[in-house]
């Protein structure tokens, strides 16, 4: 196992983590922005009003994209397990 391989594997893992978190963070950002605009226009500054819609939206997004997330994680894990014989040499 060379240092270049370890660095490449770490970079792939970080890229995968960023790719998988992107839909959830994007939806949270958009819903948070919409709620903030709503709060600013109506001057309602209730703290739970900002958290509950974001939590619900992120949960629904997680349910919607979970097959894609599982597919990506399974592919990465499969490739990692298949490369074990070449790593050990």
CA distance 81 to 74: 10
> pTM of the predicted model, to two decimals?
0.79
What is the DSSP code (8-state) at residue 80? Answer: H
Tell me the pLDDT of the chain (89 aa) as tens digits: 788 888 999 999 999 999 999 999 999 999 999 999 998 898 888 878 888 999 999 999 999 999 999 999 999 999 999 988 888 87
One DSSP character per residue, 4-66 reads HHHHHHHHHHHHHHHHHHHHHHHHHHHHHHHHHHHHHHHT---HHHHHHHHHHHHHHHHHHHH
């Amino acid at each position: 196992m060379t240092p270049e391989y370890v660095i490449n594997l770490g970079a792939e893992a970080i890229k995968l983590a960023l790719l998988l978190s992107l839909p959830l963070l994007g939806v949270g950002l958009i819903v948070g922005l919409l709620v903030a605009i709503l709060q600013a226009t109506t001057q309602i500054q209730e703290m739970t009003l900002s958290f509950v819609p974001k939590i619900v939206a992120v949960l629904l997004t997680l349910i919607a994209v979970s097959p894609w997330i599982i597919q990506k994680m399974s592919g990465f894990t499969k490739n990692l397990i298949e490369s074990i014989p070449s790593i050990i040499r």
